[in-house]
Chains A and B, each alone.
Chain A
Amino acid sequence: MPPVSSPVGLRFENIDKRYGGLLALRGVSLTIAPGECVVFAGRNGSGKTTLLRIAARLVRPSRGTLSFSGDSTGGNENTVRPGFVAHATMVYDELTAEENLLLFARLQCVAQPENRVESLLQEVGLEGRRASLVRTFSRGMRQRMAIARALLHEPSVLLLDEPATGLDPQGVTWLAGTIRLLRDSGRTILMSLHGESEISSLGTRAVRLDAGSVVADTRTGATFRSILTFADA
């Protein structure tokens, strides 16, 4: 995994997100340094997914601002394109693995898209199924496709919303190895997880959300663990 030339940080300032009568996020303020690997924990509906979708700029906050900092282009939000792995795989069932990745590589103007797709298919272990339609894939294989799609343009910021969903134990080990490489290459990683796992141990910071608010935020051992396990620190 090539190192990132200019790591990017994020700054959420007083973010609210309202869906009709439901306040999904309440005054969330967080500054994430370039190269940090942040684990978001919290019960279902605590606002983790909404926060990641705001970071991906798929959802516009009702109030507050999101800014990126530290990249060579001055942190202009339009120049930072995070890689995003969501609950849904975000790939087309009717296209083959190779067609899917080529489609998104071309849309993102990736240089030499065929070579990039080839190397990613090998990295995620799907080179033998390149010509198979994604609808014939198992959940774990689809998740590998989702991760490959998110990495196509070698993003400086990675947003992973429960990335281990559907992966078998070997898949989780592979994913943990991949995230470790990405973290060590200087990429900023924000991921939402449920509980402690091989993947959560890669985090350098843990943030717990509850009912749309940040209720705990730490970088240290014992508190870090309690945030992930929902135990009182």
Chain B
Amino acid sequence: MAFLTDRKRAAGLGSAKTGTDQFWKMTRSSIALQVMIPLFVITFGIGLGGTYEEVLAYYSRPLPAIIVGLSLIVCVSHFTAEAIEATEDYVHGLAGKLTIIGLNALQYVLIGVGLFALARLAL
């Protein structure tokens, strides 16, 4: 029988291994979604459907570019966290670690490419 307390034994367990950090992170990004998803649907919906020139003109205005840029950051990181959560639940060991690394890479590629595209459209 060890001298460890129950608190100490529980630390680092759970599927995410980081205690309640992920829970709090999801709470924050869930609240951010409530703002960004309606804004994104309206903004992107207005922009979709125009000709090439109309789209270029639309995204050279600050508001559409900023809203779509912010939504990309908020939504892609939230959906990645969602996918990582699912990975932690169902994929274990090395495969799980590699899947999480791959999802992180996908997240940064999507956000990076999207923001670059918006900057280029806007400027």
Partners in one complex: no
Q: A residues engaging B (CB < 8 A)?
A: none
Q: B residues engaging A (CB < 8 A)?
A: none
